[in-house]
């Protein structure tokens, strides 16, 4: 201001001022320097105008341009603006977002029979309910009439995961919107049709495209009978439906205990040392389901906790049963433990209680952890592992080489064994990189004072190569496939 007055004899602009009563208000000021005939500065003249009312009118205009006055939600324009940013964010951070196009099924009839005032009340309630279904940084917009769009951001990069997350929000919306609306003396009911699409697949997508897809999906939901949720992509719809059916079945499976353990031999140069237990699901309507299909889902849904406990319990009971059979008493069992299981606060006591309950010898129990476990608080992992080791059991690091273990962490973990991932073993004879990694794991194990075992050993040539680089413990089809208990016991007695 002074700079301008001294050079140009004038300044004008907005300033924040304070009234005598302490209120802050925006003021327009125009200040001019006044000089006498000799050009000497004599005084300044300032005119001031209180512009608070103009400011609030401007704010109002701005608000009206970007928000819906009835529900106070962002309007189409602001939604498109945010969508544009969200698409850019997805490209930058490798994530996905979803648009859920929500249309109330019976609003028009209600509006006509109830009158517009009551109709407005219903829309306001619907808007408030929609807000409860999303996080603060997600957007709920009203496009007009009874059409709303919910934009959720920061979803998983995997399309199936993102779709599952979006579907969960869709179900929640369905549920909150179908609760009764108390308006006047009556309770009104309404359902909604929801169309879902993901965005963030293509970086160059325009903002109109996802919105159009979501709208088309919403019309499909209407056409299919209303009160439904539809994905734009039919294939996505199928995948999400299959997955929710699987989740439902899995809950039932845990309740009814439809699982069995298979035992896969682990051997070394002296003979059979034990087995890894691998869980199988005996689905009532399908053949045996592989754990690669249901373990990830069990982890996501938390079902891994009761399932994992059952696996541990069954394996320990088996160890106790073998302890009295001279030909089997020396065998160890390796049990896979998911990160989620291990993170439970009372995991150590659970394991200890299981050992006591079953009477298993802890020396015969080995827990297999994966590198994915190590992404969080390593200190507390070390504390838990040490506590468990003090009971006598041991630890193996499964699928080693596929994760991102920091070598300095590795040094501090109280591990007993590294398990070379089958991915490296598979091409060990033909791929020099895989062979180099296997060599590295063996050398690393040696220098850290750990044992090493290779999994996925399918041929004599694999075994010979591994022996040549210093790995003398194996698991794989060459020796035995995972077997049902009876078959494994027969195998063990003959081996």
Which positions touch Mg ion (CB under 5 A)?
Answer: 336, 368, 398-399
CA dihedral 163, 167, 168, 172 (to 10 degrees): 150
- Smaller CB distance to ligand C2E: residue 348 or 420? 420
Out of 63, 117, 186, 477, which residue is the one contacting ligand C2E (CB under 6 A)?
Answer: 477
CB of 465: closest distance to ligand C2E in angstroms?
14
Is residue 414 near ligand C2E by the rule CB under 6 A?
A: no
* Contact partners, residue 281, CB within 8 Å, separation at least 6: 250, 253, 258, 259, 288, 289, 291, 294
CB of 281: closest distance to ligand C2E in angstroms?
10
Other C-beta atoms lying within 10 Å of the C-beta of residue 325 = 12
Site for ligand C2E in 251-290 (CB under 6 A): 264, 278-279, 290
Indicate which of ligand C2E, Mg ion, none lies near residue 311 (CB less than 5 to 8 Å, by partner kind). ligand C2E
d(CA 58, CA 73) in angstroms, rounded, equals 19
DSSP 192: E
Sheet holding 192-199, edge to edge: 139-144, 147-155, 96-104, 192-199, 229-231
- Residue found under tokens 């990830």: 296
Is residue 56 near ligand C2E by the rule CB under 6 A?
A: no
- Smaller CB distance to ligand C2E: residue 336 or 358? 336
Indicate which of ligand C2E, Mg ion, none lies near residue 163 (CB less than 5 to 8 Å, by partner kind). none
d(CA 361, CA 363) in angstroms, rounded, equals 5
Indicate which of Mg ion, ligand C2E, none lies near residue 482 (CB less than 5 to 8 Å, by partner kind). ligand C2E
Is residue 167 near ligand C2E by the rule CB under 6 A?
A: no
- Smaller CB distance to ligand C2E: residue 205 or 313? 313
Other C-beta atoms lying within 10 Å of the C-beta of residue 39 = 6
- Residue found under tokens 């006509």: 112
Out of 103, 215, 233, 398, which residue is the one contacting ligand C2E (CB under 6 A)?
Answer: 398
d(CA 40, CA 51) in angstroms, rounded, equals 33
Is residue 458 near ligand C2E by the rule CB under 6 A?
A: yes
Residue 264 corresponds to which tokens in the numbers above?
A: 């896969």
Site string for ligand C2E, 353-392 (x = CB under 6 A): ---------------x------------------------
Out of 68, 103, 167, 455, which residue is the one contacting ligand C2E (CB under 6 A)?
Answer: 455
CB of 58: closest distance to ligand C2E in angstroms?
60
Is residue 422 near ligand C2E by the rule CB under 6 A?
A: yes
d(CA 182, CA 166) in angstroms, rounded, equals 29
- Smaller CB distance to ligand C2E: residue 82 or 364? 364
β-partners of residue 30 are 12, 47
* Contact partners, residue 23, CB within 8 Å, separation at least 6: none
Task: Name the strand (E) or helix (H) holding 387.
Answer: helix 378-389
Q: Where along the sequence are the contacts to ligand C2E (CB under 6 A)? A: 264, 278-279, 290-292, 295, 308, 311, 336, 338, 368, 398-399, 422, 455-458, 475-477, 482
């Amino acid at each position: 201001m002074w700079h301008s007055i001294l050079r140009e004899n004038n300044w004008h602009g907005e300033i924040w001022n304070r009234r005598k009563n302490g209120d802050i208000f925006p003021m327009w000021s125009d200040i001019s320097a006044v000089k006498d005939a000799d050009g000497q500065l004599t005084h300044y003249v300032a005119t001031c105008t209180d512009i608070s009312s103009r400011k609030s009118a401007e704010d109002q205009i701005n608000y009206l341009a970007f928000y819906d006055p009835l529900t106070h939600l962002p309007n189409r324009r602001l939604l498109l603006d945010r969508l544009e940013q969200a698409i850019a964010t997805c490209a930058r951070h490798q994530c996905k977002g979803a648009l859920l196009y929500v249309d109330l099924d019976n609003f028009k009839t209600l509006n006509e029979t109830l009158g517009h005032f009551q109709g407005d009340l219903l829309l306001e309630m619907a808007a408030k309910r929609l807000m409860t279904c999303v996080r603060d940084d997600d957007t709920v917009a009203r496009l007009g009439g009874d059409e709303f769009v919910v934009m959720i951001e920061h979803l998983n990069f995997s399309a199936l995961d993102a779709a599952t997350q979006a579907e969960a929000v869709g179900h929640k919306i369905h549920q909150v919107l179908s609760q009764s609306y108390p308006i006047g003396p009556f309770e009104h009911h309404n359902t909604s049709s929801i169309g879902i699409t993901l965005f963030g697949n293509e970086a160059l997508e325009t903002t109109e495209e996802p919105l159009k897809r979501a709208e088309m999906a919403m019309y499909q939901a209407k056409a299919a009978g209303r009160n439904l949720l539809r994905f734009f992509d039919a294939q996505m719809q199928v995948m999400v439906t299959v997955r929710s059916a699987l989740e439902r079945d899995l809950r039932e499976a845990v309740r009814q205990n439809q699982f069995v353990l298979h035992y896969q031999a682990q051997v070394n140069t002296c003979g059979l040392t034990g087995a890894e237990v691998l869980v199988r699901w005996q689905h009532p309507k399908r053949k045996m389901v592989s754990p690669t299909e249901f373990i990830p889902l069990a982890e996501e849904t938390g079902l891994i906790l009761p399932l994992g406990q059952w696996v541990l319990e069954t394996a320990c009971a088996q160890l106790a049963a073998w302890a009295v059979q001279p030909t089997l008493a020396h065998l160890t069992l390796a049990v896979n433990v998911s990160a989620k299981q291990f993170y439970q606060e009372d995991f150590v006591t659970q394991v200890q209680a299981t050992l006591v309950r079953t009477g298993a010898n802890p020396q015969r129990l080995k827990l297999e952890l994966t590198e994915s476990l190590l992404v969080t608080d390593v200190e507390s992992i070390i504390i838990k592992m040490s506590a468990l080791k003090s009971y006598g059991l041991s630890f193996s690091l499964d699928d080693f080489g596929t994760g991102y273990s920091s070598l300095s962490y590795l040094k501090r973990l109280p591990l007993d064994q590294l398990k070379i991932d089958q991915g490296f073993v598979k091409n060990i004879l033909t791929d020099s990189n895989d062979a180099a990694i296997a060599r590295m794991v063996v050398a690393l194990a040696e220098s850290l004072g750990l044992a090493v075992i290779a999994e996925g050993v399918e041929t004599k040539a694999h075994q010979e190569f591994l022996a040549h680089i210093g790995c003398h413990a194996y698991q794989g089809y060459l020796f035995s496939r995972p077997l049902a208990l009876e078959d494994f016991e027969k195998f063990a007695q003959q081996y």
